[in-house]
Amino acid sequence: MDTAAIRAAHRKRRAELPADRVAELSMDIAAKLWRQSFMSRARRIAAYFSVGGEVDCDYFIADALRRGREVYLPIVRGSELRFAQYCAKTPLSTNRFGIPEPVCPPGQFRRPQEIDVVLTPLVAFDATGNRIGMGAGFYDRSFRFLRLRRHWTRPKLVGLAYEFQKTVQIKASSWDVPLHHAITESCAYRFR
C-alpha cells in the first residue's frame, strides 16, 4: 500500500476505537513507557494532546508531573514545532488544527535539542522505525537535525501507538526522521 492508503486505513481504524478502549490501552502504553530504561534519565519530556483516537497522553502527563519531570507540549509555529512547558494550571488556546497548545511567550520556548524524550503521535510505523504522521511534516522538519547525527544525544523520538498501527513497510522519504522507539500496548520496539 502507498502512504496515503496506509494513512487512511489506520486513521479510520484508530478513530473507531471506543473511548473506554482508548483509555485502557493508553494507560497500558504509559505503564510500559515508564518501564523503559531511557525514561529513568529523562527530565524534560515532550508529550501531546491526542486527537482522532490517538494514544491519549493525559495519563502519562499527570504521572510525569507527579514524578517531578518537566512536561512540554508542541506549539505549531509556521512549519515547525516549538515546545512550551506545561502543568495543570497552564493556560491553553486552540491551534488551527483544533489541538490545545500552551499559551507561552516565545522567549520561554524550548528548542527540540533541549528535550530528552519526545513522545510522537503517529498513524503507522514499521519495523525499522519509519513513521507516518498526519501528513503535515511538523515532526520531520522540527527534528531534521537528527538525520545528520551519528550518535544520539537528544532528543529520543518515541512513537506511541496501538499494536495494529504497526505495518509491514513504509517507504521513507529523504526528509523523514525515523523513531528511536515505538511503544504499544503489547510491545516496546527499539529501532536504533
In 3-state terms, what secondary structure has residue 83?
strand
Q: What pLDDT is attached to residue 151?
A: 65
With contact defined as beta carbons under 8 Å apart, do 46 and 117 qualify? yes
| Domain boundaries along the sequence of the chain | 3-190
Kindly give, in sequence order, each residue whose CB lies less than 8 Å from that of residue 48, ignoring residues fewer than 6 positions away: 54, 57, 73, 74, 99, 119, 120, 121
- Considering the entire predicted model, what is its pTM? 0.92
pLDDT tens digit sequence for 135-158: 677 888 888 888 776 666 679 999
Question: What CATH number should be reported for the domain whose range is 3-190?
Answer: 3.40.50.10420
Nearest CA-CA partner of 39 in 153, 113, 118: 118
pLDDT tens digit sequence for 44-78: 999 999 988 999 999 999 999 999 999 999 998 88
pLDDT tens digit sequence for 6-43: 888 989 999 999 999 999 999 999 999 999 999 999 99
